[in-house]
Amino acid sequence: MSMLNRAIFLDRDGVINIDKGHVHKQEDFVFCENIFDILRAFQSKGFLIVIITNQAGIAKKYYTTDVFQSLNSWMVNELRKQEITVTNVYFCPHHPEHTGTCNCRKPEPGMIFQARDELNIDLSESLLIGDKISDIKAGKNAGIKNNVLINKVPLQGADYEHYFENLNEFNLHSLPVESLFQEANKVLA
């Protein structure tokens, strides 16, 4: 018998850490306020934690895959110190102008589909958090029904189910994990 998992899909820059543009050094990697609490809340509800990140800086030769991987290992370890287990991190090293098109760069759903297949995830019961419309579109393209935009402004271009100005507004004490799904279902009903 196969059991399907629920997952929370998170963009990296602008969600996990402050987006300073092509972050690839530890000294530039600053965790977003409240991200640890949010991840622990979802983890305690049994969600897998999956990070999906466009890393066009690799295609543009700003940094290498090895540099990305080494920062990534550090990040995963820092999260572990906060009692957060990242199930997996998927990254797209491409950029259309440098490497041609691919099916992993968001808004394409390739990274989400890869995670679904490798980790046995039920996308309809999962949730995505991003700070750009391309994140939301990737979620929509993959069939995720609960997409959360975190941005100073409510960007146009794709319909997200939830919007918060920042992660501090995304308060899971006043808005528990399950209510995110109930509200989204209400919209769909």
Q: Which residues bind to Zn ion, rule: CB under 5 A?
A: 92, 94, 102, 104-105
Q: Does 11 bind Mg ion (CB under 5 A)?
A: yes
Report the number of secondary-structure helices (H) and strands (E) in the chain: 7, 6
From the list Zn ion, Mg ion, none, pick the one residue 104 interacts with, judged by a Cβ distance below 5 to 8 Å according to partner type.
Zn ion
CB closer to Mg ion out of 14 and 109: 14
Residues in Cβ contact with 39 at an 8 Å cutoff, skipping those fewer than 6 apart: 8, 49, 79, 82, 84
For residue 11, the partner it binds in Zn ion, Mg ion, none, with Cβ less than 5 to 8 A by kind, is Mg ion
CB of 113 to Mg ion, least distance (A): 20
Which of 10-18, 33-41, 64-72, 110-118 is the region at the interface with Mg ion (rule: CB under 5 A)?
10-18
- The H-or-E segment that residue 178 falls in is helix 177-188
- Has 11 been annotated as catalytic? yes
CB nearer Zn ion, residue 94 or residue 140: 94
Q: What is the DSSP letter of 125?
A: G
Q: Which of 14, 57, 110, 139 binds Mg ion (CB under 5 A)?
A: 14
By CB neighbour count within 10 A (0-12 exposed, 13-18 middle, 19+ buried), where does 81 fall?
Answer: exposed
Q: Radius of gyration of the chain from Cα atoms?
A: 16
Binding site for Mg ion (CB under 5 A): 11, 13-14, 131
